[in-house]
Each structure stands twice: as C-alpha cells, then as structure tokens.
C-alpha cells in the first residue's frame, strides 16, 4: 500500500500573509520533504493555483485582497485538490461552513508543525485510496489497535474481538474511512441512519459514547474518537507515519 514517495516531492501551495508563519512553514515543510510554493494573498493564491501543479493547499482564512473562504470556493469549483484551512483562534470560524464549502480539514493557529504535517498526509492518503467508481468492500481497516473487517463485520481491539451493533459498526466504519477528518454530525447521521434517524439529537452521541467504551483505553479521555465541539467527531490518526 505505501508507495515509495521519495521520488516525487509533494507540492504544497501555502497561502499565508504573515511573514513569521511563512518563514517557519517554508523551513519546516521543506525539512519534512515537501516542495513549497508561497502565495501571500488571496489573488496570488488563485493566480499560482492556475499556473502550477499542486498536491494540496494550505489556506489561511484571513488574507488580503481575496479572503480564504472565497479562495476555497473558487478553487473547489474547478478542482478537488485537498484544501486544509488554517485559522487563527481569535477568529470566529464556522467550521461547518468551511467543510460545506469544500475544505478537507482545518487547523487552528497556533499549531504544531507535526500536527499540520499529519493532517496534510492524512488528506493526501484519503485522496489516494479514494476510488469513486467502486464500493469499498473487501477490506480490512486498521488504525493503531483498532481493526475492522468490513466483509465479516467484525471489529478487533488489540487483537480481541468486540461485539458491535449494526449502527455502531457503520458509525465506526464511517469514521475510519475518513481518518483525521472532521465528520459533521449531519454527515454521520445521514450516512449511518439516513431516514431512519428518529431519535432526538442525542442518539448520535449515545452511539459514540458506547463506541468509546468499547474501543478507547480511557473512554472519558478518548484519543481515537474525539469530539469537535459544535461540529461533530473525528477519528484521530494517533500514529502518523
């Protein structure tokens, strides 16, 4: 599965207007083996996107000229390139909106380079494994201690089988299929329950809670399924390669 990526560098378009961030990103991402092109405002981002060939975009929200949101909308209208939004903590950001306009993920400043790199690799990996033409069927999904056998509908944690109910299995599968990605409540409910969702809004949370008791070492301090307040849940990549 993991291909030799040493030959071709992943090319990132980094859209950022703060010089201190630009310096740190250029150095840090270069050290991580990425090829980096910088755009210092929204218009430059759109221009460079047209000129170059990129594998992913790191997009600051607060930008001169054209805002990050508009850059995201414009690029998403013509390309499915992975886009990671970067926002400052002080900005009131509607994360649901960001996901709706096509961002793949987001990080909040200040972030650690390691976290950022893990998120970039995660969105790229998702694109790599995404095959829209066929249903992912014969599959074993494995993340850390958690293993999901899609065909036989079995779930193992550290080698031990745990019994999941149908909806719990579907929920875990949906989260595992999108590692590192925020799954909004709406999307999860739609994919797992569809029109069957008759409970109140707590039904999803109840299922998440039970999943945590089954797969988390410490269900009260989950490290696999984390809550993104007001938005949804995310299956964390605990050990980014």
Total of residues contacting Ca ion (CB under 5 A): 3
DSSP 3-state assignment of 64? coil
DSSP 3-state assignment of 66? coil
Q: Are 107 and 116 in contact (CB under 8 A)?
A: yes
164 part of the interface to Ca ion, by CB under 5 A: no
Residue 212 sits at φ, ψ, to 5 deg, of: -65, -40
Judged by CB under 5 A, the chain residues 165 through 224 that form the site for Ca ion are: none
- Binding-site string for Ca ion from residue 53 to residue 82, where x marks contact by CB under 5 A and - marks none: -------x-x--------------------
Residue 184 Cβ, how far from Ca ion at the closest point, in Å?
Answer: 25
Q: How far is CA 195 from CA 188, 190, 192, 198, 203, in A?
A: 12, 7, 9, 8, 14
Residue 43 Cβ, how far from Ca ion at the closest point, in Å?
Answer: 14
Residue 62 Cβ, how far from Ca ion at the closest point, in Å?
Answer: 4
How many alpha carbons fall within 13 Å on the CB side of residue 26? 13
Judged by CB under 5 A, the chain residues 10 through 29 that form the site for Ca ion are: 17
Residue 45 Cβ, how far from Ca ion at the closest point, in Å?
Answer: 12
């Amino acid at each position: 599965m993991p291909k030799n990526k040493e030959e071709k560098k992943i090319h990132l378009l980094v859209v950022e207007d703060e010089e201190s961030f630009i310096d740190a990103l250029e150095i840090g991402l270069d050290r991580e083996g990425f090829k980096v092109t910088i755009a210092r405002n929204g218009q430059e981002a759109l221009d460079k996107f047209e000129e170059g060939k990129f594998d992913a975009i790191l997009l600051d929200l607060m930008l001169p000229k054209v805002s990050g949101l508009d850059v995201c909308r414009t690029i998403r209208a013509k390309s499915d390139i992975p886009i990671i939004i970067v926002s400052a903590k002080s900005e009131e950001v509607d994360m649901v909106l960001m996901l709706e306009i096509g961002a793949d993920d987001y990080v909040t400043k200040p972030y650690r380079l390691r976290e950022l790199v893990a998120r970039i690799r995660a969105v790229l990996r998702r694109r790599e494994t995404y095959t829209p033409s066929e249903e992912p069927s014969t599959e074993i999904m494995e993340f850390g201690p958690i293993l999901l056998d899609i065909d036989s509908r079995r779930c193992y944690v550290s080698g031990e089988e745990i019994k999941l109910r149908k909806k719990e299995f579907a929920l875990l599968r949906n989260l595992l299929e999108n590692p590192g990605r925020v799954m909004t409540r709406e999307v999860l409910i739609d994919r797992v329950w569809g029109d069957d969702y008759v409970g109140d809004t707590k039904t999803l949370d109840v299922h998440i809670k039970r999943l945590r008791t089954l797969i988390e070492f410490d269900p009260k301090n989950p490290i696999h399924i984390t809550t993104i307040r007001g938005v949804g849940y995310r299956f964390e990549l605990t050990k980014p390669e």
